[in-house]
Structure formats: C-alpha cells, structure tokens
Structure 1
Amino acid sequence: MNHPSQSLPGRVRAGYALGSLVTGAFGTVPGLLLLPYLTDTLGVAAGIAGLLVLAPKAWDVLINPVAGRISDRTRTRWGARRPFLLGAGLAVALLFAAIFAAPIKSGVYVALTFLATATAYAFYQVPYVAMPAEMTDDYTERTRLMTWRVAILAVAILVSGALAPVVTKQFGDGVPGHRAMGVFVAMLILIGTAGSFFGTSRAPTGRVLESEASLKTQLRTAGRNKAFTRLLVCFIIQAAGIATMLAGVSYFATQVLRDPDTGSTVLFACFVGPALLVMPLWSRVGAKIGKLRSYFLSSLVFAGAAALMALAPVLPAAAVYVLTGVVGCGYAGQQVFGLAMLPDCIAYDAARTGRRQAGVFTGLWTAGETFGLALGPGIFALLLAAFGYVSSDSGTAAAQTDTARLGVLLGFTVVPAIVVALALFTLRGYDLDEERLSSRSEGQGEALERTA
C-alpha cells in the first residue's frame, strides 16, 4: 500500500500506539529497578553495578543499525517491519522475565540475560520506530500518530513504573519479589507485542524504495542529513539526563523522601498522570508554534521543574510531588515532538535521495536513545560511588550518610536538569518545517513521474 496523505484510521493509530507497552516497559523498569536490584539485593558495589547495567545497553549502539538494515531489506507478505514486531516482541517478554529469575545470585548472570534481552529489543524497537515514516507522508498526521503513541507510552510508564515496585514488595522484596515483578512486566510486553502486530495489519506500508548497497554507505548518507544528526545528538543527551533521574527514583524515595514503601509509586503516578492530561495540549501547542519551538519549550519545563526539586529536603512532600508532575508534563512534550520530528527527517532524506532507508535512520536513533538511557544509570551509579553509597545484599537499603544522601539528591534533580537543558544547544541549525518538507515531497513525486 502506498503512502496516504490523509489521516490514518483510529484502529491503526491505536494498534501502533500499543507497541509503546513494549518500549515503555523495557525502557522504564530496568532503569528504575535494575540498579537498586544489583546494589540492594545482590550486594554488587555501586560502581560495578553501573557498568553491568551500561554494558548490555551499549551493545545496542552496534546492533541497532544492523537491525535497521535487515528490516529495510526484508520482504514478506506482512511487510518489512511487522514480522519483527511479533518475533522479537515475544523474545523480549521471555528474556525480560529471565533477567530477574535469579537462578543464581550473580551480577554476571543479570548482565548476560540483560544483554540477550537488549538484543531482542533492538529487533523490535528499530522496525517499530521506522513504521510512521512509511505509514503516512502527512506532516501533521505524524504528530497525531506520535501523540497516540506517547499517550500509551505514558500509560506504560505509569503501569510498569508505578506497579513494578508494588508487585516486588507484595511478593516479599528480595529475589522472590523481583522474580514476580519480572513476570508481571513480561505480561505487559506480551500485550504490547500482540496489539502492535495485529493492530497494524491494515496499516499502509508506503512505497518500497531502493536501499543503499552497504551499511557503511547508509551510515554515511545518514550523516549527511544534518537535521537528523542534530536531532539525534540532542535526543541522546536528553535521554541520558532523563534516565539519570529515572535511575534515582527508588533511591530518592528512600533516602530523601524517607518513604521506601510507597514513595516510588507515588512519584511515578505524579510523573505520568499529569502527562496524560497535557498530551492534547501539547498537540495544540505544536500546531500553533511548530514542533521545534514546542520541543524547546517542553525541555525547559522539564529542566526547570527538575532543578527546583533540589529543594526537596526543605519542601513538603506534596510540593515535591507537584514538581514531579510538572517534570512529567515536560517529558511528555519532549517525547511527542522529538518522535514527530524524526519521521520528518526520514521523509526529507527519502525525498532528497529517492532511497528507502528508514530502518537505518531509526536504527541509529534507537541505538543512540538506548545508549543515552543506559548512560543514565551509569551516571547515577558513579554519583553514588563518589558520595559513598553503601550496598547491601539483604533486599533493603543500608543506612546511608548525609553525604550519600546528597549524592542521591543531586543525581535525581540538578544533574538531569543541566543535561536536558544543555542538550538544546545541539539543535542550532535544525531547519525542517512543513513548507520545506512539502516542497521536497512534490519534487520527488515529479521526478518519479518523469522516470515512469
């Protein structure tokens, strides 16, 4: 089916959006619970635990572009992307449960199973992110599609991030609690896999264009797309900042808010709940002032609220939770506009070169995003080590010094705020707008007609 210029059916939007249960759960829960699982249940030192979390995700920097190229060259009756949604999604669910199964209490076992899960996830995420550029060539429809996707992403973050700690505690913390949590999250991933595969069965697949001959050539071509490279660098840096905050949720709830039982769940509810409400507002803001300005605005909202949370030790808990909600509102906008600008970059490249290589662009994108998300726990772990955080193998956090608690506070607030704000400087020179994309698309259409 060729590119449609009209709106996509609601069933297709909803089906595609359900894939965010997979990306949201895998992107959230390891960043939230894997580091404290290693430091406070398996007794791994903070610095080493950070490396164990970082290394498997860093592997995705290599595997994601390969997954993109493979999906670009795939031809099946289900299209190029959908077979990967089913096969890789099932593998992610099974392997995720295995991460926390803990047949042995070993950080090496966790690292190896996490590596396997990250590899399977690459073959789900890259084709999934490539699909919007091929489902529609309408500039505004891409924003609508991303709004649906980010809305489900927010639900996935809320359900997985808020309930995973609850499930863990319900089953007794420690290894048994984490084992039950792994199965719970695996079920969410299975639902997202089925929804995205079957829900997009009637989605347009776009015109199949010739792909570049080699991965090296494709990477070189992507590097020539200056708008893409600027957006990619910004998104990677911001992902690292966001993931640093995410990695600190459990520590912040325990050491700063002094609420180890419900603090993590309430923080996540406050983070995601308001984000769901402002999603339509961000869509209207984007239509009025454009995607790029909206991206800047949402990033500054995130950074400003995160910085103010450094006052948490002297603020009432209610004020901290309100600021968390503002952070979530900013995060929602970042996701909507960043993900809506990516298909614009891909469409611009297709119009410029006449070649089909969405998978390479999304492979680089997801590799960069995954690497940024992996850097976050690493950064937070280094802060813990630098400020003297003490690990434990009892399933509960050990008593910490005031210095260690200061490291937790800075890692959760000031550091993410600075990283997210500074990343915006990389977007100087980004110049893709609706008018420029429309002129490129018209030129490509005329060239194809002359060729025919």
Structure 2
Amino acid sequence: MTATGLPRRVHLGYALGSLVTGAFGTVPGLLLLPYLTDTLGVAAGVAALLVLLPKAWDVLVNPVAGRISDRTRSRWGARRPYLLGGGLALAVLFAAIFAAPFGTGPAAGAYVAVAFLATATAFAFFQVPYVAMPAELTADPAERTRLMSWRIAVLALAILVSGAVAPAVVAAGGDGVPGHRWTGLFVAALIVAGTLGAFLGTRSAPAGTVAETEPSLRAQLAVAGANRPFRALLLCFVVQSAGVATVLAGVKYFAGQVLRDPDGGPTLLFACFVGPALLVMPLWTRVGARAGKRAGLVAASLLFAAGALALVASPVLPAAGVYAVVALIGVGYAGQQVFALAMLPDCIAHDTARTGRRQAGVFTGVWTAGETLGLALGPGIYGLVLQLSGYVSSATGVAATQPASARLGVLLGFSVLPALLVAAPVVLLRAYTLPAAPVAPFERGVPTR
C-alpha cells in the first residue's frame, strides 16, 4: 500500500469483480421470465415460481457463505479463494441455464429451475466475500470511498453492457432457444473476465486483520439484527430491489406489448434505464455532500417512483417521450445504488469499531441475501401479475397475441407496481442513524456520510 492508499491496480482489480455481480444481477432478471413464457412455453404463474424459488434459496445460503469466508485462513486471505472458485463455477453454470437440453415444455422449465438454483449457490460464494472485502482492505473511510467509486463505475458499465447487449445477442442468434444459448455463453465470458480480474488484481492487497468472531452463525445473525441502522437500511433496500427487479422483468414485455417494438425496444429501454448512471454521478455526489447519504437515498427513490408513475401514460405518449421518462427513472436508480452501497460499509465499520469482532462476512451475507430475495421477488411478482391478467405463453420464441387485460397487466406491472415498491420503504430510513465520526466528506464521486 502506498502513502496515498491502496494502489490503483487494486482499485481497478477489485472493481472488475462488478462484471460478475452486474451481469448475474441483471441478465436473469431481464431475460429469464420471458425466456420461460415466450420460448419454453411455461405458464406465467409457474414461470414466476421457477424464477423466485432458486434465488430465494440464497436467503439461506448467503449468510452461510459469509460465515465460511469469515473463518477461512489461506495464503490468499479469507475472501480471494472464493472469488476464483465461485466465479468460475458461476460462469459454467450460467451458460447451462440457457442450454435447453430438454427442448420446450415442463421438463425444460424444471431443468432451468435446477440449473438456476446451482448458479445462485455459486454466485453466493462469489458475491458475499466480494462485498465483504472493502471493509477489510483498508481502515480509512476515504480510501473505502475511492474503492467504492471504482466499483460503482464498473458496475454501471457491466449492467449497461450485459443488459443492453444480451437481448441483441438473442436476436442476432436467431431468437428462441439458439439465441438464448448464445446469450448464455456471452454472459459466461463476462463472468470469467470479471472473476480473473478481481482475483489477480487484488493479489497485492492487504487481507485485513483477522479479528475475533462470534462463536456461532446464530450469534452473528443476532448481532447483525441488533444493528439498528443496518436493519433499517437492509429492509428498505430489499423492498426497493423488488421494485427495480419488476422494471427489469417487464422490459421485454413492455417493449413488445406497449411500445410495439419487440426487437429494438428492449435494448433501448435498458440503455435509457442504466445509461444515466454513468452520467449523473457528480450530481448525486453534490446532493450527498449537501444533504448526506440518507437524504440522497430518499431523493433518488422518490425520483424513481415519480418517473415510474408517469409511465402509466405510455400508451398515449410518443416513443421518444417514453424513453425520456425511463431515463429519468434511471437517474433515480443510479442514486439508489450509490447511496445504499456507500452506506453499507459504514454500518459494517461502525459495528467492527463497537464490538472489536470481525463481522464483515455475516453483514454482507445478510445484505446480499436480502438483495437477492428482492431481485427474485420482482420477477416473481411481475409473473404473477401477468398470470392474473391473462397473459398467453408461447413455445415459438415469439410472444403470442395478447388480450387487452394482459397488455394492461404488462403496463401496470412496469409502472405503478415499481413506483409503490420503491417509494413506500423510504419511511424505514428514519431508523438509520450512525454516531458522528471523523470521516472525509467526499472523494471521487461516492458520498462517505
């Protein structure tokens, strides 16, 4: 480590891990539900369960992965062995999700559920150690800020590339099963690149001090639950993640049924949703510098909700107007991610200072379990809305002609539903308070208070 903090190669190496988290956090939520309903012919309600249950499994396995990595002692440190093993396994299993060895129908749906369950497990053993690392790489809050700013920049780029390109790869590959197979391989390649980049790029980073841990997983979970700021932030983020995930799950349906542009619409919608994250970081930096992280998160959430509600008017708006509103939602989404991810390490560092125990793995295990649950609930809820509104599934790779009720369900699930899920939980943030600490106010784009 240099006099000015961690070496630049560590910043970049750690940030490259966001290629993994960004791709896996985006593409299944964007493509898996329509893949099941419009390519494999699975009923919307059943497809919702097939998407929800494997990711809900992570609620159990993520804290376990955190505890295991907390207790790991190796020449590579506690976290890096899991970056390599979990990331490479994730790449192979992700490609397997879209391999479709059983063609279409119920057997194909069951295969996807099993493959997705295995993939979610591998992701847990990458994600939890990865998210735990910043609290241990340095004790300097300003240095954690710099580290997080690199991560968020790469995360935004990863989400934009994987989410915008994946639908285009499906189309270029011939749609249907062949197109999705190519997409599985494309995303697997991104995951391998991120895995190797994070593992090799952090090889010179300090592993952190191995401090005393709580004697059992139950005791560690009790500590995390007793941390009032962490608990408030987590509950808010879980519900908001479900709202964000309903938008991702609805992109392809909304483009086809409301915008009547099933080919280019998904890519444009996703680019408008995620693209602003690369442009508005300085704006949210100034908001956080003036008002603090919590106020920034509230403002970003309300902006997201207002834009989502405006989409109710999409059937009478020109396409350009719809894309502009989606970009406004993307501005709010960028702020949500910045502030929530910057507030988490503060909670972890505060708990470590208070207890003297090494809890980063468990806190991030609980956090990622909650985030994963929220991201799984979004497509599940959206699929349920489709089922209740009478959506007609197809095994041809092309969406069937839908009744008016189904088109209304597509619209409301993409607008009113995410607005409610993102706006309502901000009241929980009233319980988020941390003791004043001598931290640097801002550095390089991510707020530290």
Fold in common (TM above 0.5): yes
Instruction: After TM superposition, list the pairs within 5 Å mapping 1:290-309 onto structure 2.
Output: 290-309=292-311
Is the 8 Å Cα contact of residues 142 and 439 (structure 2) preserved in structure 1? no
The answer for the alignment partner of 1:450 in structure 2 is: none
What's the offset of the Cα at 1:378? 0.4
Per mean C-alpha deviation after superposition, the further-off stretch among 271-280 and 253-262 is 271-280
The answer for the alignment partner of 2:334 in structure 1 is: 332
DSSP-derived class of the 2:431 partner: coil
What's the offset of the Cα at 1:436? 7.5
The answer for the alignment partner of 2:249 in structure 1 is: 247
Instruction: After TM superposition, list the pairs within 5 Å mapping 1:292-371 onto structure 2.
Output: 292-371=294-373
Is the 8 Å Cα contact of residues 298 and 333 (structure 1) preserved in structure 2? yes
Deviations 1:349-370 (Å, cap 9, x if unpaired)?
Answer: 1111110010000000000000
Percent identical among aligned pairs is 69
Is the 8 Å Cα contact of residues 5 and 136 (structure 1) preserved in structure 2? no
The answer for the alignment partner of 1:39 in structure 2 is: 37
What's the offset of the Cα at 1:204? 2.8
Q: 1:50 aligns with which of 48, 51, 59?
A: 48
Summarize the Cα distance change of 1:288–1:143 in structure 2 as closer, same or farther, 3 Å threshold. farther
The answer for the alignment partner of 2:28 in structure 1 is: 30
What's the offset of the Cα at 1:5? 9.8
Per mean C-alpha deviation after superposition, the further-off stretch among 116-125 and 348-357 is 348-357
The answer for the alignment partner of 1:446 in structure 2 is: none
Per mean C-alpha deviation after superposition, the further-off stretch among 308-317 and 141-150 is 141-150
Summarize the Cα distance change of 1:191–1:413 in structure 2 as closer, same or farther, 3 Å threshold. same
Deviations 1:97-141 (Å, cap 9, x if unpaired)?
Answer: 000011113100000000000000000000000011112233343
Structure 2: distance between partners of 1:272 and 1:57: 23
Is 1:109 aligned to residue 101 of structure 2? no
Name the aligned partner's letter for residue 383 of structure 1.
V
Taking only aligned residues, the RMSD between alpha carbons, in angstroms, comes to 1.5
Structure 2: distance between partners of 1:194 and 1:434: 38
Structure 2: distance between partners of 1:433 and 1:28: 35
The answer for the alignment partner of 2:201 in structure 1 is: 199
Name the aligned partner's letter for residue 77 of structure 1.
R
Is the 8 Å Cα contact of residues 88 and 120 (structure 1) preserved in structure 2? yes
Summarize the Cα distance change of 1:287–1:141 in structure 2 as closer, same or farther, 3 Å threshold. farther
Is the 8 Å Cα contact of residues 303 and 418 (structure 1) preserved in structure 2? yes
Instruction: After TM superposition, list the pairs within 5 Å mapping 1:46-195 onto structure 2.
Output: 46-105=44-103, 106-195=108-197
Is the 8 Å Cα contact of residues 251 and 266 (structure 2) preserved in structure 1? yes
The answer for the alignment partner of 1:234 in structure 2 is: 236
Structure 2: distance between partners of 1:238 and 1:195: 30
The answer for the alignment partner of 1:17 in structure 2 is: 15
Structure 1: distance between partners of 2:373 and 2:244: 12
Give the TM-score of the pair, scaled to structure 2: 0.94
Structure 1: distance between partners of 2:164 and 2:266: 7
What's the offset of the Cα at 1:379? 0.4
DSSP-derived class of the 1:208 partner: coil
Structure 2: distance between partners of 1:211 and 1:268: 42
Is 1:372 aligned to residue 374 of structure 2? yes
What's the offset of the Cα at 1:10? 2.5
Structure 2: distance between partners of 1:249 and 1:159: 15
Is the 8 Å Cα contact of residues 299 and 331 (structure 1) preserved in structure 2? yes
Is the 8 Å Cα contact of residues 139 and 434 (structure 1) preserved in structure 2? no
Deviations 1:266-313 (Å, cap 9, x if unpaired)?
Answer: 111112222201123323332332111111111111111111111111
Give the TM-score of the pair, scaled to structure 1: 0.94
The answer for the alignment partner of 1:209 in structure 2 is: 211
Is the 8 Å Cα contact of residues 147 and 283 (structure 1) preserved in structure 2? no
Name the aligned partner's letter for residue 356 of structure 2.
G
Structure 2: distance between partners of 1:7 and 1:287: 22
The answer for the alignment partner of 2:445 in structure 1 is: none
Structure 1: distance between partners of 2:315 and 2:252: 16
What's the offset of the Cα at 1:52? 0.4
Q: List alignment gaps of at least 5 residues for structure 1.
A: 439-452
The answer for the alignment partner of 1:281 in structure 2 is: 283
What's the offset of the Cα at 1:437? 7.5
Name the aligned partner's letter for residue 80 of structure 2.
R
Per mean C-alpha deviation after superposition, the further-off stretch among 288-297 and 230-239 is 288-297
Structure 1: distance between partners of 2:379 and 2:215: 37
What's the offset of the Cα at 1:417? 0.8
Name the aligned partner's letter for residue 314 of structure 1.
V
| Matched residue count | 436
